[in-house]
Amino acid sequence: MIFCTLCYGDYWSKKHSDDINKISENNTIYVYTNKPEYFKSSCNIVQYKRKDFSYFEKLVLLLNLIDTHKERVTYFDSDSIYMEQVQSMLNNTHTKFNDETIYTHKIFQNEEYSISDLSKDASLVILMNVYKQLGFDNVICNYPHERILSIPHIPNKFKTLKENILNVQSIWEENWYMGKEWPINHQCNKWSQYGCGYGEGGALSIYAKELNIKFSTISSVKKLI
């Protein structure tokens, strides 16, 4: 399996480079970074050239790598290496993936709720409004957590998926911008401190749904004692 991650700035690169370098010894991993000096030659460096940080760039990286390799690529946040789901993939102890399914560690089941219920979340209000502006009649869809994303290359669907998602990058960065003030205690306040384009899972979720690409969670193989 091909892996990728993103390390922006000295803090994240220095903090996680040892673990990433270790992973690179036995796995193919691409590191999207503006601090390549922290990483060993066994890592495949993708230069992060933007002056600002965008969470959406993890989707750009992931989709471009899938397009290049024509196979599934798995992204994980650099601070998620020791999560069970990441470890199971690195050690090949996860349950077998379906070739046409996107995997993550958690799925927010928004489709189980009404628009009225979802509208209690300020970010989901913006998300549903963006969906309407993009021409979607059904503005409710399940949402994959972006911490871990494993996306397959589906020959008859991938090109459309990639183009649709990359075409809305600027919309996400304009609506979920750096420094945006959210209601007190809203989780977006954390992400808005560091960059723009957060909430990027919303772009993946709506276009995956349009193409009838399913989501599932990553699980480890259960060993019998």
What's the one-letter identity of residue 109?
Q
Average confidence (pLDDT) over 1-23: 98
Q: Is 212 exposed, middle or buried (0-12, 13-18, 19+ CB in 10 A)?
A: exposed
What is the distance between the alpha carbons of residues 33 and 35, in angstroms, rounded to a whole number? 5
Radius of gyration, CA atoms only, the chain: 17
Residues constituting the chain:
225
End-to-end CA distance of the chain: 28
pLDDT, one tens digit per residue, over 121-153 is: 999 999 999 999 999 998 999 999 999 999 999
Q: Report residue 221's pLDDT band, with 50, 70 and 90 as the boundaries.
A: confident
pLDDT tens digits, residue range 149-190?
999 999 999 999 999 999 999 999 999 999 999 999 999 999
CA distances from 153 to 24, 48, 144, 195 (A): 22, 24, 18, 29
pLDDT for 5 beyond 70: yes
By the 8 A CB rule, do 148 and 83 touch?
A: yes
> pLDDT tens across 34-69, in order?
999 999 999 999 999 999 999 999 999 999 999 999
CA distances from 100 to 31, 66, 68, 151, 197 (A): 25, 13, 18, 8, 26
Domains of the chain with CATH codes: 2-217 (3.90.550)
Measured between alpha carbons, how far is 190 from 9 in angstroms, rounded to an integer? Answer: 17
